[in-house]
Amino acid sequence: MELNLALGFGLVTASILALGAVGFTLQFGITNIFNLSFGQVMTVGMFAAYLINVQGGQSLWVGVLGGALAGAVVSGFLNKTVFMPFLRRGVSLDGIIIVSLAVGLVLENVMLAFAGPSFKAYNQPRTHSIHVLGMILTVQQLLIIGISVAALVGLHLLLRQTRLGKAMRATAANAGLARTSGIATDRVTMIAWCLSGALCGAAGVTFALNLATFDTTTGSSLLLVVIAAAVFGGVGQPYGAMLGALVIGLATEFAALVSPNLKEVIAFAILVVMLLVRPDGLIPSAATKETMGAR
């Protein structure tokens, strides 16, 4: 019984993590930038949804879309005004990590200045619980799982069925070759940033929804686990990130059955073991190349 319950709770956690981890890894796969401001962009999404839902009186589900849009706009803006100029000046990717850290701190403190330190909560009706196969899930949690599945299926279709997806995969595999083949890699990169930002914003809103309240530091508190899921799956591999999120989401809930203190211990221990056994993550690079269609 307890295992079934933990499985249900783990699926909700995994759904939130999957949105974030896929967003993180999608942008990394194409730009090679290890973006540590990702957590704060999640918080931007939370606040955008708050403005729409609480200040604007709109449905929370409109807020989720607004959060995704805000994440896309902020990510695109950061790419255009911060990361691209630094890359053009020849700053190393290691240096860009520090820049992204600084950008995150700036974002967090700007939000703190405007929103203040108090906690915010969405206007959401309290929904009843549904018992399925020994799991207890609320309607809201089922919707979170639904949003995650829809977003990831949509991303899969985009990557596999559209010219843009092909261009993104080509840029991820070899940007130079993609450029000489006539692909507008700058444009593709910008779209990747926006897509990543949209997933990041949606992850932020679903995370805040699940937590019940949030403040300006909430997004950054999830960053480490999002990165763990992305690295577990193989950084730059969207499908790996989905699997990574599932494994880490479930592992943390099962660990809580033994002791809540073990939640993060188990998650990161699994990550360390995985990296010892498969340094490239769950999906090895050869398979990735095939998955991403680098041909």
Partner 1 sequence: MRTRRLLAGAVALLAVVIAGCGSSSSEIGSGALVMASYQPYTGPDAAYGPEGTALCSFAAYEINSGGGVMGHKFQCEAFDSTGDPADALPVANRMLANTTNLIMVYGPTQSAQRAVEPVLNQEKIVHFPDSGDPAYDHQTSPYFIRNGPSDSLAGTAIAAYTANHAGYKHVAIAFTNEEAAQTVVPALKETFAKLGGTFTSEQTLAPGQTSYRTEISHILASHPEAIVTEMDPQTAATFFSEELELNGGELLPTITTSAALDSNWVGGVAKAIGPEQFMQKIVAVASNTPTEGPGYEEYLQALKKAPNNIPERENYAADPYAQLGYDGLVCGALAMLEANSLESEKWAPYVPKVINGEKGAIVVHTFPEGKKAIEAGKTVRWSGAAGLVTLNKYNNSSTPFTGYKWNGKGNGVASLEPTGGEVSSKELEEAGGA
Least Cα distance to 115 among 12, 215, 196, 209 occurs for 215
Q: How far is the CB of 13 from partner 1 (least distance, A)?
A: 5
Contacts of 114 (CB under 8 A, 6+ apart): none
Q: How far is the CB of 5 from partner 1 (least distance, A)?
A: 5
- Kindly list the distances between the CA atom of residue 158 and the CA atoms of 187, 192, 212, 215, 220, in Å, as whole numbers in the listed order: 16, 11, 32, 33, 28
Residues that bind partner 1 (CB under 8 A): 2, 5-6, 9, 12-13, 16-17, 108-109, 112, 116-121, 126, 129, 136, 138, 207, 210-218, 221-222, 225, 249, 252-253, 256-257, 259-261, 263-264
Q: How far is the CB of 76 from partner 1 (least distance, A)?
A: 27
Residue 55 or 261 with smaller CB distance to partner 1: 261
Contacts of 168 (CB under 8 A, 6+ apart): 30, 158, 159, 188, 191, 192
Rounded to the nearest angstrom, the gap between the alpha carbon of residue 180 and the centroid of all alpha carbons in its chain is 31
Least Cα distance to 25 among 292, 295, 293, 294 occurs for 292
Residue 196 or 216 with smaller CB distance to partner 1: 216
Q: How far is the CB of 183 from partner 1 (least distance, A)?
A: 38
Q: How far is the CB of 116 from partner 1 (least distance, A)?
A: 7
Q: Tell me, what amino acid is at 185? A: T
Residue 221 or 291 with smaller CB distance to partner 1: 221
Pair 38, 200: CB distance under 8 Å: yes
Residue 59 or 213 with smaller CB distance to partner 1: 213
Q: How far is the CB of 198 from partner 1 (least distance, A)?
A: 20
Residue 88 or 126 with smaller CB distance to partner 1: 126
- Kindly list the distances between the CA atom of residue 1 and the CA atoms of 7, 34, 257, 262, 266, in Å, as whole numbers in the listed order: 10, 40, 11, 20, 21
Residue 11 or 231 with smaller CB distance to partner 1: 11
